[in-house]
Amino acid sequence: MAEAAQQPVVFLTEGTKRTRGRDAQRINILIAKAVANAVKSTLGPKGMDKMIVDDLGDVTISNDGATILDEMTIDHPAGKMMVEVAKTQDDEVGDGTTTAVVLAGTLLKNAEKLLDDEIHPSIIIKGYRAAATKAKEVMLAAADNVSSKDKKTLRNIALTSMTGKVAESAEALSDLIVDAISAVAEETEGKITIDIDNVKVEKKQGAALTESELIQGIILDKEIVHSGMPKKVKNAKIALLDVALEIKSPETDAKIEITSPDQLQAFVDQEEAMLRKMVETIKKSGANFVVCQKGIDDLAQHFLAKEGIAAVRRVKQSDMKALARATQGKIVSRINDLTAADLGNAAVVGEKKIAGDEMVFVEGCKNPKSVSVLVRGGSEHIVDEVERAVHDALMSVADALKDGKIVSGGGSIEEEVAVKLREFAQTIGGKEQLAIEAFADTLEEIPRTLAETAGMDPLDTIVNLRAKHKAKDGKHIGVDVFKQKISNMKEANVIEPLSVKIQAVTSGAEVAEMVLRIDDIIAGSSKGKGTEMPQGSGMPPGGMGGMGM
Ligand code: ADP
Ligand code: MG
């Protein structure tokens, strides 16, 4: 199989092509396995990194499943379905993307064996569904509770999510992450809601990770546009504009004929008057700080500075939205519409020098549930990867708090489910039993892969794990990749949210079912851009097949 996986699969050719029945299934499964193989070796703290080089030569180095799949160009529809698994996992729970993709790929790999034994896809699907339902029951039964007061456990959840991705000072970052989530969490009648959009992650290279900090408010990677403007504004009234403070330059084909110096002067005067009027409108609204999504003309900057109004320009749309939420201001798209009611509020807006660059800090916002995590790191690649790890950890802590349920990691929960599923399969019998057992085998792929990344013997590890889980009180036994032995992962503080594990099984099973249902692939070439792609570009040979699933 490893050999076949290395072959680029050229699928879309000129003219319409049709593949049916087992051939269609075989191709789809092959692709799904290849995609899963591409991320499998990154699993866990000892997982390897991938380097992805795009057409322009930009390099991304990552250990994060969702990021790797996002950066790869995958053209085959079955491959795209696998990318969707990662996206769904990322959207729903934010962590466990590699796990979800590996589960989906392995479910399909194991289904292939059943298909080879002439078991009909519909029976496999039925067995997989029953197994997925049972798996969730088992996980829920094995889960422990966690409360918002249990900072130590929350910290361990953040740590588990980041281990292997953040080399140093992960401990300090974990505290920061727990503080950030605690700051935005709301508890009403014992139910915790968390709007993760209230936590903004901003990154800046050029300092040690330990310099990372939590800011009560929003950070903009921008500087105040004009040196004559105040560098710090207290009791800020903020105008949020998504319109340029500029006079539109004439369209390319429009001509303005200027025949005399007077006319030129009149033209310049008129522009100046228009800019002055814009600034007057802003001043009249009561604003003392302008955040503009577009450009600000030099002259407008000068007028603003004269009025003592500070401004930043070309602010990202996502930052505009975050600011609107935090300061409770309204984004205005016509200057003339700007009134006092549209202005956002913050205690202080000011510029600070971070690693030689100016950044604008909007602190003491009207909405106190608005915080930023400023991620620091030595180089661009490091801050990028730390930012991703922080995202996963923030989501994990939020997930755990939201439903208050946690499980132990290191493959322990997966092995627990595998053992219980095999017992369950016995009660079902027939061919469906085989599918449920295949599902159990699939879950064991997680501890097996962790063992592999740690250089342990995968077979021995699984045999020992099974024995422990069949015995009493073995549910927390998993693969300790650092000590290279199986041990109690709860005691090792390797803890994950239940919802991450449930979502991984759910989305993995869903995509496996989707792929298994397909028995006909019809590819048209007249529309779509499929034919423009270089042959096999979505599947670089060796890039994916090397790991032999
Ligand atoms: P994913 O994208 O699925 O979250 P990760 O690369 O983050 O992939 O790896 C997560 C897996 O690593 C989980 O199964 C988790 O339990 C495991 N893990 C995390 N820390 C440890 C540890 N210290 N020892 C063993 N396994 C760990
Ligand atoms: Mg993870």
SS3 state at 466: helix
**Helical packing angle, 430-453 and 97-116, nearest 10°:** 140
**Helical packing angle, 21-40 and 77-92, nearest 10°:** 50
- Ligand 1: residue whose CA is nearest its atom 26: 410
Catalytic residue among 97, 153, 449, 506: 97
pLDDT value of residue 267: 81
Alpha helix stretches (DSSP H) within 485-549 = 498-517
Alpha helix stretches (DSSP H) within 315-429 = 317-327, 380-403, 412-428
Residue spans of the domains in the chain: they are 19-145+408-526, 218-367
Give the HSE-up count for residue 452: Cα atoms under 13 Å, Cβ half-sphere: 16
- Distance from Cα 118 to the centre of ligand 2, integer Å: 37
479 lines ligand 1 (CB under 6 A): yes
Q: What are 439's two structure tokens?
A: 């599902």
Per CATH, 19-145+408-526 and 218-367 having the same topology is answered no
CA 237 to chain centre: 33
SS3 state at 228: coil
Q: Which atom of ligand 1 is nearest to the CA of 159?
A: 20
Nearest residue to 40 (alpha-carbon basis) of 63, 70, 24, 20:
63
SS3 state at 187: strand
30 close to 542: Cβ distance less than 8 angstroms: no
- Distance from Cα 394 to the centre of ligand 2, integer Å: 11
R_g of the chain, CA atoms, integer Å: 28
Q: Quick one: the chain helix, strand, coil %, rounded to 5? A: 50, 20, 30
**How far is residue 425's CA from residue 427's CA, in Å, rounded to a whole number?**
5
Regarding predicted confidence, which is higher, 70 or 447?
A: 447
Confidence band of 546 (pLDDT split at 50, 70, 90): very low
pLDDT value of residue 75: 82
Nearest residue to 95 (alpha-carbon basis) of 145, 157, 48:
157
SS3 state at 355: coil
pLDDT value of residue 540: 40
Residue 535 has pLDDT above 50, yes or no: no
The whole-number average pLDDT for the span 292-305 is 96
The whole-number average pLDDT for the span 123-146 is 97
Residue 539 has pLDDT above 80, yes or no: no
Confidence band of 302 (pLDDT split at 50, 70, 90): very high
Regarding predicted confidence, which is higher, 57 or 525?
A: 57
Residue 338 has pLDDT above 60, yes or no: yes
Q: Which atom of ligand 1 is nearest to the CA of 412?
A: 16
Catalytic residue among 75, 95, 392, 480: 392
**How far is residue 127's CA from residue 133's CA, in Å, rounded to a whole number?**
10
**How far is residue 335's CA from residue 342's CA, in Å, rounded to a whole number?**
11
Per-residue pLDDT tens digits for 486-521: 999 999 999 999 999 999 999 999 999 999 998 777
pLDDT value of residue 527: 52
The whole-number average pLDDT for the span 393-397 is 95
- Distance from Cα 162 to the centre of ligand 1, integer Å: 9
Residue 529 has pLDDT above 70, yes or no: no
99 lines ligand 1 (CB under 6 A): yes
pLDDT value of residue 11: 52
Residue type, 13: T
The CATH homologous superfamily to which domain 19-145+408-526 belongs is: GroEL-like equatorial domain (1.10.560.10)
Per-residue pLDDT tens digits for 239-289: 999 999 998 765 566 677 778 888 888 888 888 999 999 999 999 999 999
Q: How many CB atoms lie within 10 A of CB 305?
A: 19
pLDDT value of residue 518: 84
On average, the pLDDT of the chain sits at 88
Confidence band of 52 (pLDDT split at 50, 70, 90): confident
Q: Which of 97, 163, 399, 415 to mutate to test the pocket of ligand 1 (most atoms within 8 A of CB)?
A: 163
> Nearest ligand to the C-alpha of residue 488?
1
Confidence band of 525 (pLDDT split at 50, 70, 90): low
Catalytic residue among 19, 42, 64, 99: 64
- Ligand 1: residue whose CA is nearest its atom 27: 410
**Is residue 392 among the annotated active site residues?**
yes
Confidence band of 73 (pLDDT split at 50, 70, 90): confident
| DSSP label at residue 245 | B
CATH of span 218-367? 3.50.7.10
> Nearest ligand to the C-alpha of residue 496?
1
Residue 453 has pLDDT above 50, yes or no: yes
The whole-number average pLDDT for the span 341-346 is 96
385 lines ligand 1 (CB under 6 A): no
Residue 534 has pLDDT above 70, yes or no: no
Per-residue pLDDT tens digits for 350-391: 999 887 889 999 999 888 788 999 999 888 888 888 998 999
> Nearest ligand to the C-alpha of residue 97?
1
Confidence band of 197 (pLDDT split at 50, 70, 90): confident
508 lines ligand 1 (CB under 6 A): no
Residue 531 has pLDDT above 50, yes or no: no
449 lines ligand 1 (CB under 6 A): no
Rounded to 5 degrees, φ, ψ at 490 are -65, -45
Residue 547 has pLDDT above 60, yes or no: no
Q: What are 94's two structure tokens?
A: 């934010």
- Distance from Cα 384 to the centre of ligand 1, integer Å: 19
pLDDT value of residue 53: 84
**Is residue 98 among the annotated active site residues?**
yes
